[in-house]
Amino acid sequence: MGKKNKQFVEKITAMEDDFAQWYTDVVKQAELVDYGQVRGTMIIKPYGFAIWENIRDELDRQIKETGHSNVAFPLFIPESLLQKEKDHVVGFAPEVAWVTHGGDEELAERIAVRPTSEVLFCDYYSKNIHSYRDLPMLYNQWANVVRWEKTTRPFLRSSEFHWQEGHTAHATDADAAAETDKMLGVYVDLVENYLAIPVIKGRKTDKEKFAGAKYTLTIESLMHDGKALQSATSHHFGSGFAEAFDITYLDENGESQFAHQTSWGLSTRIMGALIMVHGDNRGLVIPPRIAPTQAMIVPIAQHKEGVLDKAYGLRDQLKNLVRVDIDASDKMPGWKFNEYEMKGIPVRIEMGPKDIEKEQVVLVRRDTGEKEFVALSDLETRLPALLEEIQSNLYNKALEHRNEKTSTAKNMDEFKQNLEEKGGFIKAMWCGDLACEEQIKEETTATSRCIPFEQEEVADTCVCCGKEAKELVIWAKAY
């Protein structure tokens, strides 16, 4: 059994040795994805999709609870429609996949496979919004989109990915701003309280904002290797798209007004964050609130009389309380331990003849590896409590890691030194000038992640040019 364990773990590269390879190994070994036939596409396998479904279901619940309706818009966008909003088309043009033929026949107009669906919603809104009574229009869709990426990695950057995109239209700029804030709040709740990933909330600089938006709000999280990942964004469009698409309504005085819009999205990229924030050298670590299986029962010496009966009995006893499963296959317990550690299942429940005799089970935590003996009579209270402990421990560990890897810089020398020695988030003042933002990227490859809502004054002057500082920016190398 010892040998088997060893071989199994050796399938994953240690994250200290090669983080990128570790990621690829985990994604493969934990059976999350396989590669598709077209470069950059991925097959999300049952276990990967089960995790995504739990994320999706919770987010969908909150989207509906905040008054939005789900819809399904087409996969295709005519080229002329995509070109209606100038900034938008320039932003997405390099990544668009085009359909040029239907069967053998060349199409009169090229058709884009949606890279995002703003223009489709705008076109619809222009035809369906007439009066202030039609507003707000609060739509969301769960969809796949295509962006022809040059370099791809499962979940992080794939040519096709799954997401939700919310698209809303409002009477006033203030209403749209409130919506943009509200949906960022929904993402914060999902990512912090369900995925156990602490986030920094802020606004993107103009350089990093969504193509065509007035401004973009973002939540940024920090991966184990010290690189940042944009976890979700919420965009305020102002009336820019409405003017391009002629989305107008008659207000209460009968005067024509432009609508004000938002869009907001969270994608399967968040699966990459989940892996890279919580995972370790034994594989995935899935927070209990989104784990497809929260506890896995592994019977010990299951060939002995009564063990399997008891183990199934335990499963039935717990199944309405937690998401529990049992592995009664004839594989060795050591193989099963490794397998479910690799899959990041929060708790393993061991039960063998001795435990049955003592009317107890052994609970083993995935996050710390700690074991505890729990009397069967206490299990129904202890197990859910343990799952909550694991949930908060994962969040706290991630927050501690982020704090360790967050530093401040007053000048470029400090900036470069911090980035090289620690990586992570760097807090530094900025004058607001695009030239400085570009120079920082050029010299360090770090980008501005956001202008955080929680502002501090770590210096008086811009980290780059030394002129008067306007605001604090969080910088990092990013996925």
Residues of this chain that bind Zn ion (CB under 5 A): 431, 433, 436, 462, 464-465
CB-based burial, 310-324: b 16+ in 10 Å, e otherwise? bbeebbeebeeebbb
Smallest distance, Zn ion to C-beta of residue 444, A? 14
Smallest distance, Zn ion to C-beta of residue 189, A? 35
Please state, in angstroms and rounded to a whole number, the distance separating the CA atoms of residues 155 and 267: 9
Query: Of 197 and 440, which has the nearer Cβ to Zn ion?
Result: 440
Please state, in angstroms and rounded to a whole number, the distance separating the CA atoms of residues 314 and 14: 36
Smallest distance, Zn ion to C-beta of residue 440, A? 9
Please state, in angstroms and rounded to a whole number, the distance separating the CA atoms of residues 62 and 60: 5
Query: Of 205 and 230, which has the nearer Cβ to Zn ion?
Result: 205
Smallest distance, Zn ion to C-beta of residue 415, A? 12
Please state, in angstroms and rounded to a whole number, the distance separating the CA atoms of residues 136 and 69: 12
Sign of the C-alpha dihedral computed for residues 72, 77, 78 and 81 taken in this order: positive
Query: Of 274 and 474, which has the nearer Cβ to Zn ion?
Result: 474
Q: 351-354: list long-range contacts, CB under 8 Å, 24+ apart.
A: 351/297, 351/298, 351/299, 351/300, 351/307, 351/310, 351/311, 351/314, 352/299, 352/300, 352/301, 352/304, 352/307, 353/300, 353/301, 353/304, 353/306, 353/307
Smallest distance, Zn ion to C-beta of residue 462, A? 3
Query: Of 26 and 462, which has the nearer Cβ to Zn ion?
Result: 462
Please state, in angstroms and rounded to a whole number, the distance separating the CA atoms of residues 169 and 129: 9
Query: Of 251 and 433, which has the nearer Cβ to Zn ion?
Result: 433
Give alpha helix (H) positions in 153-203.
Answer: 173-188
Degrees, nearest 5: CA angle 394-402-204: 115
Smallest distance, Zn ion to C-beta of residue 249, A? 42
Sign of the C-alpha dihedral computed for residues 286, 287, 293 and 295 taken in this order: positive
Query: Of 60 and 206, which has the nearer Cβ to Zn ion?
Result: 206
Smallest distance, Zn ion to C-beta of residue 464, A? 4
- Crossing angle of helices 2-10 and 333-342, in 10° steps, is 20
Smallest distance, Zn ion to C-beta of residue 441, A? 13
Smallest distance, Zn ion to C-beta of residue 437, A? 8
CA distances from 220 to 37, 200, 280, 448 (A): 32, 5, 21, 11
Query: Of 12 and 431, which has the nearer Cβ to Zn ion?
Result: 431
Query: Of 247 and 431, which has the nearer Cβ to Zn ion?
Result: 431
Query: Of 43 and 435, which has the nearer Cβ to Zn ion?
Result: 435
Classified as helix, coil or strand, 389 is helix
